[in-house]
A and B are shown apart, each in its own frame.
Chain A
Amino acid sequence: MSMRRVAVVGAGMTKFVRRSQETGRELSWEAVSKALESCEMSLDQMDCVVMGSAPDAFDGVHMKAEWLSDGAGAWGKPYMRGYVGGGTGVFAPAQGWYHIASGLFDTCLVVCEERMSPTQPHPQAAFNSIFDNFTERALGPNLLWIFALEMNAYMNRYGLKKEDIALVSVKNKRNAADHPASLLGDPNITVQDVLNSEVLAWPVQRLDVSPITDGAVALVLAAEPVARRVTPKPVWIEGVGWCLDTAYWTNRDLSYPTYVEEAARMAYKMAGIKEPRKEIHIAEPYDPFDYKELHHLEGLMLFGKGQAPEATARGVTQRTGDLPVCPSGGLLGVGNPIAAAGLMKIAELFWQLRGEAGKRQVPGDPRRGVAQAWGDLMQVGTVVVMGK
Chain B
Amino acid sequence: MSLLNNLEHPTDARIWRGDLPVYHRYTAGVAGEKFLRALKDQGAVYGTRCPTCGYVYVPARLYCERDATHLDDSTWAPVGPAGALVSFSAVWVDLDGKRLDAPQWVGLVRLKGASSVLMHYLQTPTGALHAGMTVQAVLKPANERVGSITDIAYFKPL
Contact = CB atoms under 8 A, between A and B. Distances in A.
Interface in B114-132: 115-121, 130-131
B1 interface: yes
B80 to A, nearest CB: 14
B91 A250 contact: no
Contact of A153 (B2, B86, B97, B150): B86
Contact of A150 (B2, B7, B87): B87
8 contacts: A124-B97, A139-B120, A145-B106, A148-B106, A202-B90, A202-B91, A250-B117, A251-B116
A153 to B, nearest CB: 4
A272 interface: no
Contact of B149 (A129, A138, A142, A201): A138
Contact of B92 (A18, A141, A199, A246): A199
A2 interface: no
Interface residues of B, number: 49
Nearest to B5: A17
B113 interface: no
A149 B108 contact: yes
Interface stretch (A19-27, A319-327, A365-373): A19-27
A21 B1 CA distance: 9
A120 interface: yes
Nearest to A148: B89
Given A20-B6, A141-B119, A202-B90, 7 more contacts: A20-B4, A21-B7, A22-B5, A139-B120, A152-B87, A250-B119, A251-B115
Contacts, number: 141
Q: Which 9 A-B pairs have the closest CB atoms?
A: A148-B89, A21-B4, A250-B117, A122-B97, A153-B87, A201-B91, A19-B7, A134-B28, A133-B26
A156 interface: yes
B88 A139 contact: no
Interface residues of A, number: 50
Contact of A142 (B2, B91, B120): B91
B20 A60 contact: yes
A81 interface: no
Nearest to A206: B93
A128 interface: yes
A142 B88 contact: no
Nearest to B33: A134
Contact of B26 (A20, A134, A202): A134
Contacts of B4: 20-21
B95 interface: yes
B78 interface: no
B114 to A, nearest CB: 10
A30 B5 CA distance: 13
B18 interface: yes
A17 B59 contact: no
B131 A140 contact: no
Centre residue among B6, B120, B121 by max chain A CB count within 10 A: B6
B81 interface: no
Contacts of B5: 15, 17, 20-22
Interface in B22-81: 24, 26, 28-29, 32, 36, 59, 65
A201 B20 contact: no
Contacts of B29: 134
Contacts of A141: 106, 119
Interface string A99-138: 0000000000000000001001110110011000111101
